[in-house]
Amino acid sequence: MESIIGLFKTECFDTDVFHDGPWKTASDVEYATAGWVEWYNTTRLHSSFGHVPPIEHEQAHYAALTHEEQPA
């Protein structure tokens, strides 16, 4: 958990990617956090997935599943 918090702080708060300007309200933090979570879960390249975004990894996983015939 500490690793993800460190990534979150570095990628969300130490850059201006998810928020421009100073942090003034809790809504600023909420909006930036939502943007970071969406990016992290869909777009970010994850090394544990072979450097592909999670959405592509999930699609490949489900495409590789074989559907067995269900008994009638």
Task: State pTM to two decimals.
Answer: 0.69
For residue range 48-64, what is the model confidence (pLDDT) as tens digits? Answer: 888 999 889 988 888 88
d(CA 59, CA 65): 10
- Domain residue limits, the chain: 2-64
Residue 1 has pLDDT above 70, yes or no: no
d(CA 21, CA 62): 41
For residue range 3-35, what is the model confidence (pLDDT) as tens digits? Answer: 889 989 898 988 888 888 888 999 999 999 999
- Please give the structure tokens belonging to residue 12: 């969300």
